[in-house]
């Protein structure tokens, strides 16, 4: 089982922008307590590498990936910090080639069939459909992905995904896991609302199980 299969088992990946490395372990513990021991820590803040390193060192059972990886240097930093996978909002052939060279599982962002074909050429097993709702929602993804179903490539819709439309996304067989930006928001982390984050994670796990009939 590869890392993207593991993400698929959970159905939701918390997408997190976190500013203070001191919040790394309380955040991890809140997600673990909620039954969702994984996170995409985005490189939207200067603390991203330190946070990934802290979680992977102190909570080794937590699955941690890096998000918003835009450059080869960020891919290197993500891997050095302990990231098990990386994602990007867009697609860059040079970054894809570098990620493959260093052995970092990488899911680039796509919106079009042409971008999807670039990802396939680079051996990607999963792509981020971003921004998911503004790009046309589940109906658009269903139509874009249909000609490529035989390739087995999976999708991680992110951007506008909510508990209310979660079933629409997970009903598509090609969707492995959605990006859950609502589970641990930047504001809740800054306010140290750990109980709320645990509750959000627990509710997301229950909702996925309900949708999948688990």
- Nearest 5 degrees, angle CA 51-CA 37-CA 125? 90
How many CB atoms lie under 10 A from the CB of residue 182? 17
How far CA 115 is from CA of 49, 61, 102, 109, 183, in Å, comes to 28, 34, 22, 8, 29
Catalytic option among 128, 142, 192, 196: 128
Both tokens of residue 73?
């240097």
Is residue 128 part of the annotated active site? The answer reads yes
Nearby residues of 148 by Cβ (< 8 Å), 6 or more positions away: 113, 116, 120
Q: Say if CB 37 and CB 49 are below 8 A apart.
A: no
The secondary structure of 125-136 as a DSSP string is SEEEETTTTTTT
Q: Say if CB 45 and CB 17 are below 8 A apart.
A: yes
Is residue 115 part of the annotated active site? The answer reads no
List the catalytic residues. 40, 128
């Amino acid at each position: 089982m590869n890392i993207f299969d593991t993400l698929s088992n959970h159905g939701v990946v918390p997408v997190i922008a976190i500013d203070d490395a001191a919040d790394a372990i309380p955040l991890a513990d809140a997600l673990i307590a909620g039954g969702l021991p994984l996170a995409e820590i985005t490189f939207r803040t200067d603390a991203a590498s330190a946070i990934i390193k802290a979680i992977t060192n102190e909570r080794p059972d937590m699955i941690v990936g890096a998000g918003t990886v835009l450059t080869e240097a960020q891919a290197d930093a993500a891997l050095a910090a302990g990231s098990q996978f990386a994602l990007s909002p867009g697609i860059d052939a040079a970054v894809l080639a570098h990620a493959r060279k260093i052995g970092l599982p990488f899911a680039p962002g796509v919106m079009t069939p042409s971008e999807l074909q670039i990802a396939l050429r680079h051996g990607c097993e999963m792509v981020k459909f971003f921004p998911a709702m503004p790009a046309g929602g589940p109906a658009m993804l269903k139509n874009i992905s249909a000609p490529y179903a035989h390739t087995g490539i999976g999708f991680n819709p992110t951007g506008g995904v909510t508990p209310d439309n979660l079933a629409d996304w997970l009903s598509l067989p090609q969707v492995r896991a959605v990006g859950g930006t609502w589970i641990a928001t930047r504001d809740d982390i800054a306010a140290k609302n750990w109980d709320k984050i645990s509750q959000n994670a627990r509710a997301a796990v229950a909702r996925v199980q309900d949708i999948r009939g688990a």
